[in-house]
Every structure is written in structure tokens, then in C-alpha cells.
Structure 1
Amino acid sequence: MTDKATAGRLRPASGRRVVITGIGVLAPGGVGTKAFWDTLTSGRTATRTITFFDASPFRSRIAGEVDFDPAAEGLGQQQIRRLDRAAQFAVVATREAVADSGLENVDPYRTGVTVGSAVGATMSLDREYAVVSDGGQSWLVDHNYGSRHLYDWFVPSSFAAEVAREVGAEGPAVVVSAGCTSGLDSVGHAAELIRDGSVDVMITGATDAPISPITVACFDAIKATSPRNDDPEHASRPFDRTRNGFVLGEGCAMFVLEELSHARARGAHVYAEIAGFASRCNAYHMTGLRPDGREMAEAIRAAMDEARMAGEAIDYINAHGSGTKQNDRHETAAVKRVLGDHAYRTPMSSIKSVIGHSLGAVGSIEIAASALAMEHGVVPPTANLHEPDPECDLDYVPLVAREHRTDAVLTVGSGFGGFQSAMVLARPERRPA
């Protein structure tokens, strides 16, 4: 005889398929998945002048902020004191995802957690440094002035621990940090753990709350963010000829992933199957990209190979679309390189035009947008795209959402350090045998 946990570990991993059965989102424009989708499809931009601190000394003073009240979202006073804002996001989004999935009575040893984050507990660390250094006046700081929760903020693995505690997961618990592809990579890693038989359920996604003086200063230094401070609502302009950098954002998306037969056995609603995932590194430059798109193209090709899908099967592309000159050119070239002529017939849009760029979280938020596009048969638009760049000549769904039947979505990400990731979502019934 074997107990339940041991029996699970002995099950063969071959042929295991992974599906999304629950979604939770916090993003600029509204808290919750419905508010997020309504914001995207309306084309209303949620970027504005920074309100979290006095940004007047900085070059770029705009961001996509989440109107978030942790107490109103059900967090207790101890949680609010203990958790960084990004961790608060993760806990609240996890609750929504689990409720959405209808998941109950999970086997703790067959349930795991992966959380992606590019910059961890930045807001708390920035705030605590200001305290211990007396506003930057003291070179030698006194740690006794710091919060006793400083260690948890310093070690991002606390994010995964908090989510695991929330759902009672006692399987693998991991934080994935790979810059701006963290949100894709976290979900991709979770799917692999289910496929290889380690678990049946994963709570996964990504969170970042980076809108702090240190983050704004860092992106100012390399002129990566838009200085269009007089028009914050229209500053994020992916694929537009007048684009001049991305707009910083914050947010979180969390998912319930399940092995397909596990989901079907309990009658769960399935949003999409994670049909393929791949990541690559260009080993070329910390922030630079080759204009031919070869690195991202390689990740796309590998993800599509894993999904056993040809380019013609892709119905919609959720772009990284950061709004920097080089990224939008690189991404356009990569899509053409893999999809060929089909690239010109495939809608492709960037939700960063609406919510900004939430660094490591945005890859998961874009997975949520991709799954919801399949669910509702609607492709979200690229806002603020009034003057198309001749070098970016695909169908970027400008300004207005479009009704469009979608059976397979390609979503892609690109990050500093040369990271490139791609994921294919598909309706399970449309997957090739």
C-alpha cells in the first residue's frame, strides 16, 4: 500500500497537459479580473502623474498606479504591516484566482507555488533605507531604526511563502526572477512541474510594485522611460512613430494551473491550455537588442514546436510592446521571422499602452489578457497608436478593441539581460493530438 502523496509521486508524467482554471488580477484601472478586462477593452489608459511620492526631481514622472486599499481587499492589520505592497498584491490576486477556479480541499503535497518578480520588495526597502539613513543624510546607517520585517523584504522568496501559506500548499515553492520576463517564466516553470508529475496543481503568477524613487531614478539614468509628463494618459505609445520610452507600472496576476484530467474530474472551467513555453537569452548586451529579432524568434519557434503548432494556427499575438524604439522593432521582426506572411494577417496588440509596464509582473498580466481574449472572443487594442511607425508594419489593433475568434494565442516577453520568452495558449479541444 502507498499513501496518497506517495501514489501521486509514482504516477507517470508522460502526456500530462496543463490548463488555467482560475485568474486573479490587480492592475492600473481597477482591482479584480473584471475591472482589468473592462479597462483593457475600453481602451481607457490608466497611466497618470505619480502620486506615491514627489516625483518632481525626476525626468519621467508618470506611471500606471493601482488604486489599492489592502484593508478593503480583506487583508488584516498584521498582514498589512508585514507584507510589502507586491506581496499584498500576490495574496489578494491568489484569493481571487482560487475562488474563480472553485478549487477546494487540495492535496497539500501535490500543490505548489511559483511567483515571479523582477524587483521584489522595492517599495519597502526604499522606504526603510530612507528611515535608517535619515533621508540619505547618514552614510553609516543604524540598523536598529529598521523594521523587524526587513529580512522578509530583502529576500523575495517570502512572496512564495506567503502565497503557499494562503492556500496551504506544501509542494514546491519558488520565486522566479528574470527581469521583465519573470511573469512568463514563473508560469512556464509551474506548467513544467505539473507536466513532469511533481504536482497536480500550481498557484502561479507574478507581482511587482516598483513605483519608488530608486526605480524611477534607475530608468531615468538610461533614458528608458517616457518623459512625456505633460500628457501622462497618452505617454505609452507602443509601435507609434512618436514613442519615446515605456511608462512604469505595477500590478499582479495569479493563476490556478491544473493537470487537465484533474480539472475535468472536478468539472472546472478551463480558460486555456498552456500548450508551449520557451525562454532564451541573447548573450549579447544588458539592454540592447539586435534589430533582426533573432533571439525572440528563437524563443517563439521553440514554444510553438512544443505546442506542435505551425504559424498559421496563431490567431492573436499579445505583444511585449514596451514602447521603446528598439524593442518594438525587434519584436516586429521576430514575429515576421517565425510567422512569415501569416504575421500580416494576425492581430497583435500591446496592453502596456493602457496599464504601463509593471516589470516582472507584466508577463503574467499579459497571460491573463491572452486567456480572457480567448474567453470573450475580443482582442484588446493598442491605445495611443495614432501615427504608425513604418518600421512596425503589422496589425497592432489601434485604439479600438476588436471582436475576433481566438483559438490560439502567442504571448511574448523581453527583458534586460537579454532574456526572451514566449508562451502559446490554446483551447484544449483544438490542440493537435
Structure 2
Amino acid sequence: MSRRAVITGIGAVAPGGVGRQAYWDLLSSGRTATRDISLFDAGKFRSRVAAECDFDPVAAGLSAQEIRRMDRAAQFAVVAAREAIEDSGIDTTAGDPGRTGVSIGSAVGCTTGLEDEYVVLSDNGKNWLVDHSYGVPHLYGYMVPSTLAAEVAWQAYAQGPVALISTGCTSGLDAVAHGVQLIEEGTCDIVIAGATDAPLSPITAACFDAIKATTPNNDDNAAGASRPFDGRRDGFVLGEGAAVMVIEEAGAARRRGAQIYAEVAGFASRSNAYHMTGLKADGREMAEAIGVALDRARLDATDIGYINAHGSGTKQNDRHETAAFKRSLGQHAYDIPISSIKSMIGHSLGAIGSLEVAACALALRHQVVPPTANLSVPDPKCDLDYVPVTARDHRMDHVLSVGSGFGGFQSAMILSRPGVGSGREAA
């Protein structure tokens, strides 16, 4: 009998609200969390807006030692993991700790801590040879991205496989998928999976300014700066945050009476082997990932009731993605409600995929499609149902979430509502 993986707990640290409920309230209301950058002086940058988390580590329950030890991204991950474990009702200290694993995604690791320490060690960039004695005791941990996963493992008493997945902007999707694989292959019974990134720093802003990927739309209302699929869009808005989920073997979860948000029914990834930032217009690689995910879930295109789009808000991505949906789903692509939550919470790089998986699980729970905020002048070349401005009540049993990242990474994941049955059960 095949093993199946289900989501039984969700934790979130997101722009607009810390915690799962605050996150869903933001998404379902169509509010945006994008604003002028306050975490550093962005006055000299081309793009000066972002989606920041109003995060107080003390209020979030972190100790003084944890705050001193952990980079902002690690703090996000630990707080989200604690909420997810509590939400699941599972006792990770019971049973065999070797059967509990961790899979955390991140695109840029401890960027904030590293940049802050470089500024101190180099005396604001004056010294080429830095004085290491000015560094914080845990500077080495900032250099090693796997410390993010290790921090979560310590919280969960996990002694099974612990991994840091870094595949750019698909890291969050891919980390959840890795956790699912550990369940399905029998290596783990519980996996704490998700992703975190806190990239809002001068170095990140400068990098995206250089390639003109982020919006220069600073003069208008910052809340309207992220405009996926809108004809006025001019680049994406950076964000930050984390989402972490408890993934369990389905039978064990049901036996203990756990709440189940969704089953992870299918996943696939592809690469275009083409260009670091460029995308082919036909969307073939994303379409292939969607097709394989459908096959693994044993579902048809017509089974998909909602698509959580990558929807970064760049012309290249939005049109590439629209082509991929048409290529993989055929005529049914025109009938599926689609939305981009990046319109509300920005693009948190590696973290966004896990935030989107969490949003899909919550959408299934509430039977509500989050909207694409700021979509008022549709791009005629993006002619699908991109659910503008207002959330929509909608019956759905299976949802698709996709990601597209620098390096040509394309990932697709299908979540199914518990109790509806799927093609996998017929096998």
C-alpha cells in the first residue's frame, strides 16, 4: 500500500500579519502589505518599496539568546515552525525522533545578518581587510545556510533527515516536495517542511536594481506597486517571510484524529537549461512540470479547481506562465480561477513557494480563492481568469501551485482536499 503525505499544521510569518490566521485574513480580504521600505535607508535605490513583516521577536516568543544567535530568516522559520507544530497537535518528543525530519528552503540564507556584520567588520566598507574580532559569536552560522534547517530541527527534536533546499525562487515548493518524498518513501513519519527568507537589505536591493527586475514605481501608492498580470506592471516587489508545515503520513494522521488541511497529491520540477533569468515564451518547461504533477496525482486538467500562480509581476514571467497554463491544461485553462498572492505579500524569493502552498491549503479549507490585488487593467496577452481585486467563494477539490525561478527552475505541486478521493486511491 502506497504511503501518502498530508498537511496537518501550518505556521506563518508574513507581511501584513504574524500567524496563520492573520495571514489568511490578509489574503482573503485582498489587502496589500507592500509599502515604502523602512528596514534600511532605501533613498538611493531604484526600487524603494517592499512587503515587510511587522515582526517583533520578543512578542513572537523568542528568548534573548535565540534573538542574539539567529538571523532574521532563522527567527521567522522557528516562529513559524512552533506555530505549525502547535496547530498540528502532534508531540514531536514522543515516539522515535529518528522518524522525524526537517526540510527547509531558502534562496539567500542569512543575508541580513551577513550584511549587517560586514558593515561592522569593515567599518562601513572602509577596510578591505576586516577585523574578525568585531564579529558576533555566531557569525559562522550566518555563513552556512543549513543552520536555518538545524534551528528548526532543534525546535522539533528531529533526529531524522535534516536538509536545506536552495533552488532560488522555487525553494519553498521544492522543500515541501522533499518533505513529502521522505514520507512517501518511508524514511519519515513526520516532516517539518517549509521555507524562509529575509532578503530585505541594501545588497539585495542593489542586485535587483542592477537587472531592473523590481518595480521603480515609488511615486504612486506603495500598496499598488505589485501588479501581476496587469498591463501597467513594471517589475516585482521584494518581500520577506516564512511558512512552515507539519507533513505526516496520512494513515497515521487519521488514526490520531488529526485535522488535515490537504493531501500533497503530486509534484514535479523541470529546468529550461536556457538562461539564468530568461524564460522561453512558450512556457514548455513549466507546462511539462504541471503535466507530470497531474500524472503523479492521477488527475486530469479538468480536476483542477484553482491555480496559485507564480505571478511575479514582470511582463516576461506573466506571459510565460499564461502560455504554460494553456499548453498544459488546454481549453480548461480558461475556466480555472487563477490568482497571484504576490500582489499582496510581494516576492520573498525562496520563502514564497511555501507561503503559496500554505495559502493553497487554507484556500481548500475555506473554499475561497484569494484575489490578485491591483489588477484593474488586464494585459490582453494574459487572457485567463486572474481573479481581480476581490476574493471569490469557489468550490474546489484540487488546486495547483506553481513556481518559476532564476536558473530556469520550474516547479508544480497539486494539493487535494481531504476526503474527496483522488486518482491515486484507484491505483
- Normalised TM-score (structure 2): 0.98
The one-letter code sitting in structure 2 at the alignment partner of 1:51 is S
How many pairs align? 420
- The answer to whether the 8 Å contact 2:365/2:417 transfers is no
Alpha-carbon separation, structure 1, partners of 2:318 and 2:234: 11
Distance in 2 (CA, whole Å) between partners of 1:247 and 1:67 is 17
Question: Which one-letter code corresponds to 1:79 in the other structure?
Answer: E
Q: What amino acid is aligned across from residue 284 of structure 1 in structure 2?
A: Y
Contact 2:6 2:247 in 1 (8 A): yes
Paired AA for residue 228 in structure 1: N
The reply on whether 1:224 has 2:208 as its aligned counterpart is no
The residue that corresponds to 1:36 in the other structure is 23
* Structural mapping, 1:21-420, within 5 Å: 21-104=8-91, 105-230=94-219, 231-420=221-410
Q: Distance in 2 between matches of 1:242 and 1:165?
A: 46
**CA apart distance, 1:147:** 1.4
Give the gaps of 5 or more residues in structure 1. 1-13
Q: Distance in 1 between matches of 2:139 and 2:386?
A: 43
Q: CA offset at residue 249 of structure 1?
A: 0.1
How far apart are the structure 1 equivalents of 2:67 and 2:134?
19
Distance 2:65 2:418 in 1: 42
Is residue 431 of structure 1 aligned with residue 418 of structure 2? no
Asked whether the equivalents of residues 338 and 386 of structure 2 are also in contact (C-alpha less than 8 Å), the reply is yes
Letter in 2 for 1:279: S
Contact 2:214 2:236 in 1 (8 A): yes
Q: Aligned-pair distance for 1:232?
A: 1.1
Residues 265 and 416 of structure 2 are in contact (CA less than 8 Å); yes or no, is this contact kept in structure 1? yes
CA, structure 1 residues 322+143, in 2 after alignment: closer, same or farther (shift >3 Å)? same
Cα deviation per residue 1:184-226 (whole Å; 9 max; x = unaligned)? 0000011001110101100000000000000000000000000
* Offset at residue 284 of structure 1 (A): 0.2
The alignment's C-alpha RMSD in Å is 0.7
| Matched position secondary structure for 1:180 | helix
Q: Structure 2 CA distance, aligned partners of 1:190 and 1:45?
A: 30
Separation in structure 1 between the aligned mates of residue 377 and residue 95 of structure 2, nearest angstrom: 51
Cα deviation for residue 427 of structure 1 reads: 2.0
Question: Retained in 1: the 8 A contact 2:104–2:195?
Answer: yes
Shift of 1:106: 4.3
- What fraction of aligned residue pairs are identical, expressed as a percent? 67
CA–CA distance in structure 2, aligned partners of residues 142 and 299 of structure 1 = 48
Q: Deviations over 1:363-390 (max 9, x none)?
A: 0000000011100010000000010000
Determine helix, strand or coil for the equivalent of 1:159. helix
Q: Which string of whole-angstrom CA distances, capped at 9 and with x for unpartnered residues, describes residues 134-185 of structure 1?
A: 1011112121211121110110110111111001010000000000000000
TM-score by length of 1: 0.96
* Aligned counterparts of 2:334 and 2:269: Cα–Cα separation in 1: 24
Measured in 2, the distance between the counterparts of 1:427 and 1:93 equals 23
- d(CA) in 1 for partners of 2:26 and 2:336? 23
How far residue 313 of structure 1 moved from its aligned partner, in angstroms, is 0.3
